[in-house]
Amino acid sequence: MIDVEDLIELVSTYNPNTNKALIRSAYAYGLQMHEGQERQSGEPYFSHPVEVAALLTEQRLDDATIVTALLHDTIEDTKSTFSEIEKRFGHEIADLVDGVTKLTNLQLSSSEAKQAENFRKLFMAMSKDLRVILVKLADRLHNMRTIKHMRLEKQIQKSRETMDIYAPLAGRMGMHWMREELEDLAFRVLNPDARASIIRRFITLQKETGNLVPAITDDIRAVLGRANVVADVFGRAKKPYSIWRKMQDKKLGFSRMSDIYGFRVIVNSEEDCYLTLGAIHRRWKSVPGRFKDYISQPKSNGYRSLHTTVSGRDGKRVEVQIRTRQMHEVAEAGVAAHWSYRDGERVENPFAVDPTTWISSLTERYDQSDDHDEFLEHVKLEMYSDQVFCFTPKGEVVKLPRGATPLDFAFAIHTRIGHSCVGAKVDGLRVPLWTRLRNGQSVDIITAEGQRPQMSWMDIAVTGRAKSAIRRSLREEHRDRFITLGRELTRVAFEHIGKKATDKALGTAAKKLNLDGVSQLLEFVGSTELSARDVVMAIYPELGDKQADVDVASERSVVGLPKGVDVTRALCCQPVPGERIVGIKHRGSGVFVHAIACDALAELEDEPDRWVDLHWHVGRHAANNAVTLNITIGNAFGVLGRICTLIGEQKANISDLHFIDRKPDYFRILIDVDVRDAEHLHAVMTAIEADSDVASLDRHRDLGRKP
């Protein structure tokens, strides 16, 4: 465990004016509070807060943050209280410790409604003081570095949470070094075989070609020397998880991966950045579509760099990042650069983003959302997606998430433009509204008076802003019709189980569904945002199985097909009734039905004539829609039999089962389960996931199983 004087020495290297007495006092208090407690490894528990504090010194953070790290588990795990910490260390530190404690208690991987509320609390804590999340990220990083001492199921749970939430959050904050390490540590647990395979192939590659990093680094230095550019050049092989993800995204084997090396060039001025770019492009051939200028268009977290990929030595693709030293500080620390100290003073880096501005841009729309799905959609777009930069006809830049469409572009300009959108031109060519935009494209929105948002736009729009505006407009325009339709639908649903849809019953259902009264409930039912069955189940959950809609024959389960055309569910995404779908024509094979979010559809964007607008027939479908579940279970007596029994109890049939990984302590299996619809599938997965011996469960997607 790091001694208190060693910790003070770490802080003093960047902050000679540090309050040594404060750090000594916090260290002694934390050591006393955690006395007798041990970690899973057998080490004294207080070694963990000390390591977290040491991690934060690498980011040159202030005394209050370092002290918070030393005390961050005292309120939760010891007899210490908020008032005692406030009395000893002041209100600022007490608030920070309390904020970290509240984050620790959030279950971010819970059900969607709970997850949305917890994400809201997460962002509220961040908006109050961003240093809270900096401590929490350092806490998670140290826990992941020592995760091997936990039980396997706990390792898997923490690793999945890290991969899904904390790593993307670190990346969104610009702390890419932390994102990469968190991802790789989680990858080591979630897919150890894949990680080991990539490392073995790296070793083999180095034996065959030698270590290319020093050679390419020398090549770049020589090119810059001839161009009279003073620079530091660093190179490295990319992390195993980064390579594996690229292999999955591009469906490439390791032998076909080219840009597995990354190089960084640090120069003295912005002018030198562009001189360096020119020198590198003159020496090596650039790869089309792989250039990004984040200097003229910086990311919202302050990140600035030039990115380019070139065919370097022996035709090997290498990625090169070019930035100044001040840009590099922000690229390493992200938003945390705002808090960095040097020589006892806060660093005035012109590229560091004010956390208040950054967090308000992240949360400004969330407070307006009263819909769980909509809020989670906002969060995931902000945290998980890269951005594309497109231009208006006047040359103004519009930032959008990757995968955005002209419709999203229209609403990003102004809600009025979005409402009246009838078409779009991209780089001068007329394109469908569902076209996915790419970096650097010029977009011209075509509008017409009298145009109003269409229901089909909900499947086209990607951004939360566009979806919210469309949903709001549809509600306003069709509100009376939706209420009338909703009342009829609920009347029929209630009569089906021998009950009446009285205003009192509907009011009770609205309250249970967290809606503002009967009118909103009927409006949601009429607009299909809520099913009449959900309303019945809210009041009479025990009668849910009796509310069976009209049985739907298998041959007419899909609506929208041309007459006489055969239809087949795509094996890659295995869509089920209740999910949004689209049809793809195949010559001689009829139409294959895909889930609207299926990754295979990306390959067909340029063939709009093959797309068919489809939806599922309303009613009760037969339980003959096979879905493959990927399950990791403990290797214990009777576990597999219990899982099969759970599936049977949900009235689902197992049509196939095979093992894909056998280990002494766990099995990974693929089970094909026949279900009626998305709701039936959810019930099956919920029952399985609740079993204590199930470590992980998800739907198996296999793009290799294309029709």
Distance, CA of 150 to CA of 152 (rounded, Å): 6
CA distance 340 to 228: 32
Question: Is beta strand 551-552 parallel, antiparallel or unpaired with respect to 620-621?
Answer: parallel
702, 572 contact by CB (below 8 A): yes
Of 9, 43, 58, 77, which is the active-site residue? 77
Q: DSSP letters of 639-703?
A: HHHHHHHHHHHTT-EEEEEEEEEE-SSEEEEEEEEEESSHHHHHHHHHHHHTSTTEEEEEE---T
**Distances in whole angstroms, Cα of residue 223 to Cα of each of 184, 218, 305, 323, 345:** 33, 9, 19, 17, 38
User: How would you list the strands of the sheet with 666-675, edge to edge?
Assistant: 653-662, 666-675, 625-634, 694-699
For residue 204, the surrounding DSSP H or E stretch is helix 192-209
Whether 341 contacts 61, CB under 8 Å: yes
Strands 261-267 and 317-324: parallel
The active-site residue out of 76, 86, 444, 599 is: 76
Is 370 one of the catalytic residues? no
Quick one: CA torsion of 401, 402, 404, 410, rounded to 10 degrees? 50
**What's the gap between Cα 298 and its chain centre?**
21
Active site residue 76: yes
Decide if 550 contacts 619 (C-beta within 8 A).
Answer: yes
* Look-up of token digits 């509240």: 102
Instruction: Let me know: does 513 contact 372? Beta carbons within 8 Å.
Output: no
Phi, psi of 231 (to 5 degrees): -155, 155
Print burial letters for 472-509: b (CB count within 10 Å at least 16), e (below 16).
ebbbeebbeebbebbbebbeebbebeeeebeeebbeeb
Query: What residues pair up with 391 in beta bridges, in sequence order?
Result: 397, 442
Residue with tokens 């080591």: 188
Instruction: Measure the CA–CA gap between 503 and 487, rounded to whole angstroms.
Output: 10
Q: Which residues are catalytic?
A: 76-77
